[in-house]
């Protein structure tokens, strides 16, 4: 028999996160959306409280001070995170990249532990003006010269790039090998000569944190600034990407869509037109029913793929399926919610307007829907259908 029940310890964590978001994080959403900045004093207080409850860097192992959550538990928590904004998730609960576990020697005390503890902010610099979904086609280079690496290139759309204390930079160390042994990750500190933030790029959504263009011009960093091994940057990134996509995109999409559905349900029950609640109209019922059905389907997909990650399997095709299904479901559900609310849904008085803008980018970042469909088809043609 397959047991789909959530263990008591996991449910306690989910309930704690849900209550924390409702009581501590939700009050910060509107001020952040209106000003584009999270209120600093309130953020410091809420972040400290999250840390005291063990709700910071939950994706990282306990051995380095993280929460040590399994992929399934992380996705269950991230569904709750999806109930609030990405900016607040980053600052309150921590945006700690799993590839930092490749830190070695002095890097552990300088980068890994302070980031897990919330004392340092890290940004991941992969995307370039000429390299988006095809990450292996980057043009940023790094060459070893007199015991130092010299970086040259431009990165853009880098989340937190404007405020990060340091950046993980993906660069070519062998232009011939590229993704097959020619890409390396580097740890570059803020203030390093030759490294600058050229501009912060305004975005349609995701207010509250910056997306920056970073320029490296003969930026010299120590030889020991390599994260992991020389030439192994691409597999190091890819080794972490399944869990990131499942949690940050798949599970959060379920969370946001669930919040939109709950708003839709309440409004359909209360709003009256032609003498009766609009929830009695079949067309409104269809919007609600379709949304609930799609959310349920994607939630099951996320948890199934997360379980496979925890079992040590490589569910890359399933993760791509989750990425496509979750990002597109999220957009459809929020759109339906706006339709149910009518004119009110289009106003800034409702969170749906923000959610609509925030949801749109999930079909683009971490590989567009078109790219993932191609990956799914290639994997099926090569290896056959995955076990469903």
pLDDT, one tens digit per residue, over 198-212 is 999 999 999 999 999
CATH code matching the domain that covers 122-227, chosen among 3.90.1170.40, 2.40.50.140, 3.90.1150.10, 2.40.110.10: 2.40.110.10
Lowest-pLDDT range of 25-34, 51-60, 135-144, 249-258 = 135-144
Q: Which residue has the higher pLDDT, 221 or 5?
A: 221
| pLDDT for 291 beyond 80 | yes
CA angle 158/163/169 to nearest 5° reads 45
Please write the tens of the pLDDT for every residue from 342-364.
999 999 999 999 999 999 999 99
Cα dihedral 250, 251, 257, 259 in deg (nearest 10): -160
**pTM for the model:** 0.94
- Average predicted confidence (pLDDT) for the chain: 95
Contact 319, 305 (CB under 8 A): yes
CATH code matching the domain that covers 234-383, chosen among 1.20.140.10, 3.40.50.2000, 1.10.3720.10, 3.40.630.10: 1.20.140.10
Q: In terms of CATH, what superfamily is 8-96?
A: Acyl-CoA dehydrogenase/oxidase, N-terminal domain (1.10.540.10)
């Amino acid at each position: 028999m397959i047991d789909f029940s959530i263990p008591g310890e996991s449910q306690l964590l989910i309930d704690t996160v849900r209550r924390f978001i409702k009581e501590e994080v939700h009050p910060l959403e509107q001020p952040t959306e209106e000003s584009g900045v999270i209120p600093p004093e309130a953020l410091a207080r809420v972040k400290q409280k999250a840390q005291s409850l063990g709700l910071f860097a939950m994706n990282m192992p306990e051995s380095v001070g993280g929460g040590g959550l399994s992929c399934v538990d992380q996705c269950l928590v991230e569904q709750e995170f999806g109930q609030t904004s990405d900016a607040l998730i980053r600052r309150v609960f921590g945006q700690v990249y799993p590839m930092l576990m490749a830190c070695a020697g002095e890097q552990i005390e300088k980068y890994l532990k302070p980031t897990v503890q919330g004392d340092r902010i890290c940004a991941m610099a992969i995307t370039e003006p000429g390299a988006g979904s095809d990450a292996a086609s980057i043009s940023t280079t790094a060459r070893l010269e007199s015991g130092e690496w010299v970086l040259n290139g431009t990165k853009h759309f880098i989340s937190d790039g404007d405020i990060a204390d340091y950046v993980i930079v993906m660069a070519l160390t062998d232009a011939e090998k590229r993704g097959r042994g020619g890409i390396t990750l580097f740890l570059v500190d803020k203030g390093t000569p030759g490294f600058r933030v050229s501009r912060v790029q305004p975005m349609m959504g995701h207010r509250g944190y910056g997306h920056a263009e970073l320029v490296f011009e003969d930026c010299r960093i120590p030889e020991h600034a390599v994260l992991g091994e020389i030439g192994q940057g691409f597999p190091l990134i890819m080794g972490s990407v399944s869990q990131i996509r499942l949690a940050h995109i798949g599970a959060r999409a379920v969370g946001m869509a669930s919040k939109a559905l709950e708003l839709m349900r309440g409004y359909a029950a209360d709003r009256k037109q032609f003498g009766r609640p609009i929830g009695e109209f079949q067309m409104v019922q269809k919007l609600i029913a379709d949304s609930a059905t799609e959310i349920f389907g994607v939630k099951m997909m996320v948890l199934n793929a997360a379980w496979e990650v925890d079992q040590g399997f490589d569910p890359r095709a399933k993760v791509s399926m989750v990425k496509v299904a979750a990002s597109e479901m999220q957009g459809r559900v929020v759109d339906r919610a706006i339709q149910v609310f009518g004119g009110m849904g289009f106003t800034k008085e409702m969170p749906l307007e923000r959610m609509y803008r925030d949801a749109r980018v999930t079909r683009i970042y971490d590989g567009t829907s078109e790219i993932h469909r191609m990956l799914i088809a290639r994997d099926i043609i090569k290896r056959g259908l995955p076990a469903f």
